[in-house]
Amino acid sequence: MTAKQPKKPTQDRRPPALIVAGPTASGKSALALDLAEALDGTVINADALQLYRDLRVLSARPDAADESRAPHRLYGVLEARQAASAGLWRGLALEQMAEARAQGRLPILCGGSGLYIKALVEGLAPVPTVPIAVREAAAGELTRLGNAAFHAALTEKDPEMGARLRASDPQRMLRAWSVLEATGRSLAAWQALPSGDPAPYRFMIVVLMPPREVLRTRCDERFEMMLAHGALEEVGALLARNLPANLPVMKAIGVRELGAYLGGALSLSDATTQAQAATRRYAKRQATWLRTQVGLEGEGRLLLTEQYSESHTQKIFTKIRESLLTE
C-alpha cells in the first residue's frame, strides 16, 4: 500500500488585479502609469475626488499627456452635484475591471481612498439606503448646530459612532446620524454584519508610504504647483455655480481656502498655508487608514517606504510578476 501523497495547494484561478495605494503626493499615480505601460494595464481611479470632472487641478488628476500613455478610467466621470460613495464607485470599478480583462489588460486600481479599496476587496456591509428626506433633515441639523455641537449630539445619540468620528468630518457624521434616524440602529451595528461578496479577483496591493518629512514637503510643493496650473480659476468656476456647501466637491482641500482668498477674507499666502496644512493632515489620515484598515505587510502586499522614482521600478515590477502574474 503506497503512502498518501500530500495534496497540492489548490491553484487560485481568479484573474489578477493590482492596487496601487498610498497617501496623497506619495507618487502612486506615476507608479500606476509606469506599471500600466510595462504590464499592458488599464489605470482605474480609486480616489473619491478624482471622480469629479470639476476638480482636475485640485484633485491632481492625470493630465492629457499621462492619459495618452495608457488607458485611464473613472477620472472626471461625475458631475459636481453627484455624491460619490464607496458603493457607487465599487460598481463602476468592477465594470471597468471586467472591461479591462475582456481587452486582455491588467486592471490597475490607483488611489488613496482606503474605504473604497477595502469595499472593493472585501465587499460592503449591508447598510440600507437612507431616504433623501432623512439626509436633508440631518444636513439641516448640522448647519443649525455647527460641527462641534452636532458631534456632541451624535455622541449622545450614538456613543460608539461618536467615539469613532471627529467633529472635523461632517460627511461621516451625517452618514452616522442619518442611518440611525432611518433605521433605529447604529451604523456601527450595520457595519458589524458580514460583508457582501468580495470582488472575484486575486489582488496584490502595492502601498507607497514615504517618510513623513518627505511627504510633508511633497504636499507643500504640490499645492504650489496646483496654483501655478490653474487652481484659482478652477475654484472660481466652482463657486460661480452656487452649489450646496455640503457636496463633496465643495469640501475638497483648497476650495474653502482659495474661496476665502477670492472672497477677500484671506491673503493668497494665508490661503496657501492653510491649504498646505490641510493637505498634510489629510495625508496623515490616509496613511493611518491604510495602515489599520488595509494593511501594509503580509501576503499580497508590497510596501515601499520611499518616495517612488524610476530607480524602484525593476524591484517592484519583478515582485509583481513573481507574486501576481506567474501561474
Task: Confirm if 285 and 114 have CB atoms less than 8 A apart.
Answer: no
**DSSP code string of 274-318:** HHHHHHHHHHHHHHHHIIIII-SSSTTEEEE-S---GGGHHHHHH
- Residues 309, 10: Cα–Cα separation, whole Å: 37
25 is known to lie in a ligand binding site: yes
Q: Report residue 183 as a C-alpha cell.
A: 433605521
Which of 194, 199, 258 shows the shortest CA–CA distance to 226?
A: 258
Neighbours of 234 (CB within 10 A): 21
**DSSP code string of 89-143:** HHHHHHHHHHHHHHTT-EEEEEES-HHHHHHHHH----PPPPPHHHHHHHHHHHH
Task: Confirm if 278 and 58 have CB atoms less than 8 A apart.
Answer: no
Task: Confirm if 16 and 204 have CB atoms less than 8 A apart.
Answer: yes
- Residues 25, 221: Cα–Cα separation, whole Å: 9
295 is known to lie in a ligand binding site: no
Q: Which residues of 93-126 are buried (b: 16+ CB within 10 A; e: fewer)?
A: bbebbeebbeeebbbbbbbbbbbbbbbbbeebbe
113 is known to lie in a ligand binding site: no
Bridge partners of residue 78, in order along the sequence: 52
Q: Which residues of 312-323 are buried (b: 16+ CB within 10 A; e: fewer)?
A: beeebeeebeee
29 is known to lie in a ligand binding site: yes
28 is known to lie in a ligand binding site: yes
Q: Give me the sheet containing 16-21, strands edge to edge.
A: 72-73, 41-45, 106-111, 16-21, 202-208, 301-304
Q: Which residues are annotated as a binding site?
A: 22-29
- Please state the residue numbers annotated as binding site for ATP: 22-29
Instruction: Cite the annotated binding site for substrate by residue number.
Output: 24-29
